[in-house]
Each structure stands twice: as C-alpha cells, then as structure tokens.
Amino acid sequence: MPTTDNDEIKFVYGSPAMIAGKGKRASIVVGDIHIGMESKLRRLGIRLYDTAASMARDILRMASEFSISRAILLGDIKDQVLRPESSERFAISNFFNILSPLDVTVVRGNHDAYLSDMLSVPIVDELTVGRFSFTHGNSWPSEKAMQSQYLITAHNHAALSIKDLNGALYSRKAWVIAEINPEEASRRYRRFNKSIKLIIMPAFNDLILGHPVNEGESRGLGPLLQKMVFETETASVYSLEGQYFGRISELRKKQ
C-alpha cells in the first residue's frame, strides 16, 4: 500500500477507506458518499439496491474489523446540492442510524447544504486531530491545517484512466499523494509545514468511477493542485490494492 513515515496511516486494502491515527484515537475515514445518487438512475428506469445502507454497513464492518470506534466522513454525504428529496432524507437518516455505534464527525462538503437540519452528529468545515487535518477539498484549508503533517481531502473523486489490451479506456479508483510546493504555498500561507503531505481519497460510493488524474491538465483536481500549492506533476498515484501506478506527469505521457 502507499507508504508513510509512521504507522498512523493505514490504507484499507481494496477499499476507498483509510485508518488515521492509532489506538483510541484511530478513525475510519471515507469521503464522497453521495447518498441519493441512485435516484438519478431511477429516473432512467434503472433501479439499484439501497446503496446508503450498504455503505454504512461497510464502514461499520471495517470499524469492527480494526477495533475502531470513530469515523470521519469527508463531505458530500448527500448527492443533492440543495435541499434533499424525501427519499434521500430517509436514506441519510437510515445511513446514520446504522452508524450509531460509532462516534461520527462529518466534515462538510459542497453538497452538504441543509445537512445540519437533519443530523445530530457534529458537522464541521475542517477538523484537526493530532498530526492530521481533514477538509473536503473544494476550498482552501486554513493556515492551522497547513501546519499538520498530513492534509486529507476528498472531493476530487481521484481515479486513473487505464487502456486495456483492446485499446478501450476504463477508470480505476486511486489514491493520490502529493508533496508541498513551498514557493507556491508561501504565496497564500504565512506559515505551513514544509514537509506536509496531501492525501486525496477516492470516492467511497461505488457508483462514482471518478475523475482520471491523468486526463487533461487539471480535470477533477481541487484548488490545492490546480494552483500548484502541492506538486501536481510529481504526485504519486496508487490503486486501492496498493499498486504504484506512477507520477501524474508520467501517466499523462502514456495516454
């Protein structure tokens, strides 16, 4: 799996989820849940199983497997940008009911308007725990977050476009890890950790294939990479199974 310089980060094999922290401070972290996304497909006559309940049970299973009692959800809990429909409200309520055995914190995403009207769990714009800071990824993190060892974001739906032997393209969800660009970072931040790493999570929802980071110069990338505050070209890309695909610049050349 992707490597870090300590044992406080573990990437869950084969899953778009990670464990941040250790011992009693450890949390299961996932992002981009997009509850209600299947309603768009129902309008096209495609009916799916209850994806929200399935995702909640997956989170609960991982928490049990690793003896973890906390979960951090990195935004875009719901799919509707504005007020959700009744079916989506029910699915969101059921999702959090299933997760009730866990201590859950939501980091607000750009799809999460009105979410605080529906839930009693903590909803924050940014969260710092130990050496980690968590943001959704659609806006600039605070100076405090930039002084952490790791900045964990979602929002980008990170993926890689791969060409098979027949020349057909398909997307695979991926992890992206980038180093700070001190020159660009200093243009926006007075203080920041010069060794901070940015970790971009793949979307947890199975219906989201993702935005391939090797297609185009900035497709699917949030402000931190678009503005080169973190090194886009040398960012490393990994599969959910830990395979190292290469750096973004190398992967774009292969397209």
CA distance 212 to 201: 13
Residue type, 7: D
Two tokens, residue 221: 């990338």
pLDDT of amino acid 7: 61
Residue type, 21: G
pLDDT of amino acid 47: 63
Q: Where are the domains of the chain?
A: 9-254
Two tokens, residue 94: 């059921």
Report, as ranges of residue numbers, the positions in the chain whose pLDDT lies below 70: 1-7, 40-49, 164-168, 216-221, 255
pLDDT of amino acid 204: 97
pTM, entire model: 0.91
CA distance 83 to 144: 31
Q: Which of 112, 147, 121 has its CA nearest to residue 132? A: 147
Q: Which of 115, 208, 196 has its CA nearest to residue 151? A: 196
Distances (CA, A) of 79 to 112, 168, 170, 234, 247: 8, 29, 23, 32, 31
pLDDT of amino acid 174: 95
The angle, 0 to 180 degrees and rounded to 10, between the axes of the packed helices 51-65 and 86-98 is 10
Return the biggest CA–CA distance within the chain. 53
Tokens 């308007």 locate to: 113
Residue type, 193: N
DSSP the chain: ----SSTTEEEPTTSS-EEES-GGG-EEEE----BTTHHHHHTTT-----HHHHHHHHHHHHHHHTT--EEEE-S--BS-SSSPPHHHHHHHHHHHHHTTTSEEEEE--TT-TTGGGT--S-EES-EEETTEEE--SSSPPPTTGGGSSEEEE-SS-EEEEEE-TTS-EEEEEEEEEEEB-HHHHHHH-SS--TT-EEEEPPPSSTT---EETTSSSSTT--HHHHTTSB-STT-EEEETT--EEEEHHHHHHH-
